[in-house]
Structure 1
């Protein structure tokens, strides 16, 4: 039986020593790696923007519920700026290939669900406010119609007026 050089090397190889375990203080925790560098940068920006937009919508919804409607124009400008920011982030995301882990997907899904709830609450508040404004507008138009009818009524019972009233002329008349 002949021996090969490879077998001799194995015979004289030192015994493998098991690596000594590191003390717990020096051992690295088993933290999941959520993303690589480019993905982490884009996803951090995206998650931060979504969280800020959610907070903005919740703030606007609270202002509507409290009846402080002075700053609605400011909210509209801030929402437009956030939309522009998200467009830029999405352009970055489309430019670079992103590798999303399951943990990162779960984080994104959680933030987007919170944003969706904030959007629904905000939209409901804005719709309620719009309905209230339209009801007030209809009441004012009805009052103006009665005031402008000069006591003339059609056979249907509707007031007859010489000029058609509209919401556009409402402020000028008041």
Structure 2
């Protein structure tokens, strides 16, 4: 009789433990969301594609009190970061002037100065010529960089192509 009472007393405890661990549907939901996530990644679907909305909803469906929620939050944060806006491309990169600088550095400095002036100009009429000048400066910079060679390396790789423009202050 005592054994029966002990077993009956232990039954609610066993049921509570069994039900408490079986009630967390989070890990199962997380596995399903992860499978959808992996399928989109494997197919190369960009993060801004509407197909990701279902994956986001699946990660958000993981209960807040689930032990799988932190991992779901981490995935959500990563997806939201990739869906965010990209920082703007810089108008120019810093250049250098003075003795010993090559043509590409001098042109880079000229592009930087144009970009700064464009950023300071507010009137649209004055901005348009600066935009065009900056575009031309970038195109020239690409040509200079294509013809730039490290010290000691001969520039014969571009045989038959025009030399780098001579108006950039190349001291060589």
TM-score of the two chains, using structure 1 as the length reference: 0.33
- Whose relative contact order is higher, 1 or 2, with alpha carbons under 8 Å and at least 6 apart? 1
Structure of higher CA gyration radius: 1
Report the TM-score, using the length of structure 2 for normalisation: 0.33
